[in-house]
């Protein structure tokens, strides 16, 4: 078992259901709710699919890549295969790629996004960074004696 990858994937899964954006007036939206917004009732791309100037595509795929990556990291980490690090690295990159796409879309107004970040968004970015470091082999648990 690759305990660090499994632990970080579980924590990232928990961060995914925490509030990501604080909409004000006590309302917040989680990563899971944003994922659901990528599909409408008929199963086609929904409201999040057309984000700013980006019509569909990468934003939707990256939202779906996060829970899929979490699941793959959990499974491969639990069975202890060496390529679990690769899934950890790719899964950790997803939230940062989402942030980069949002930055490209918003341009100079990008700094305003951080005002709306809630605990789930910060936790997702932090855990994503830890998964990147783990996948790259720069972060490991101490060896047992």
Indicate the SS3 state at residue 62.
helix
Model pLDDT, residue 43: 56
Mean pLDDT by 10 residues, the chain (145 residues): 92 95 86 78 55 57 90 95 92 93 80 86 96 93 78
Indicate the SS3 state at residue 144.
coil
Model pLDDT, residue 53: 47
* d(C-alpha 142, C-alpha 68), whole Å: 28
H/E stretch holding 50 = strand 50-51
* d(C-alpha 38, C-alpha 60), whole Å: 6
The structural domains of the chain, with segments of one domain joined by +, span: 3-135
Model pLDDT, residue 52: 47
| Widest CA span in the chain | 55
Model pLDDT, residue 35: 81
**Prediction pTM value:** 0.84
């Amino acid at each position: 078992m690759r305990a660090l990858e499994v632990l970080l994937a579980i924590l990232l899964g928990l961060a995914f259901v925490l509030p990501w954006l604080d909409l004000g007036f006590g309302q917040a939206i989680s990563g899971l709710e944003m994922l659901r917004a990528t599909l409408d009732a008929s199963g086609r791309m929904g409201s999040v699919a057309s984000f700013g100037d980006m019509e569909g595509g990468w934003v939707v795929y990256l939202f779906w890549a996060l829970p899929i990556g979490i699941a793959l990291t959990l499974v491969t980490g639990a069975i202890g295969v060496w390529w679990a690090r690769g899934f950890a690295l790719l899964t950790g990159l997803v939230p940062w790629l989402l942030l980069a796409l949002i930055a490209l879309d918003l341009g100079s107004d990008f700094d305003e996004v951080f005002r709306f970040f809630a605990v789930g968004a910060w936790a997702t970015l932090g855990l994503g960074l830890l998964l990147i470091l783990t996948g790259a082999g720069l972060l490991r648990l101490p060896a047992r004696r």
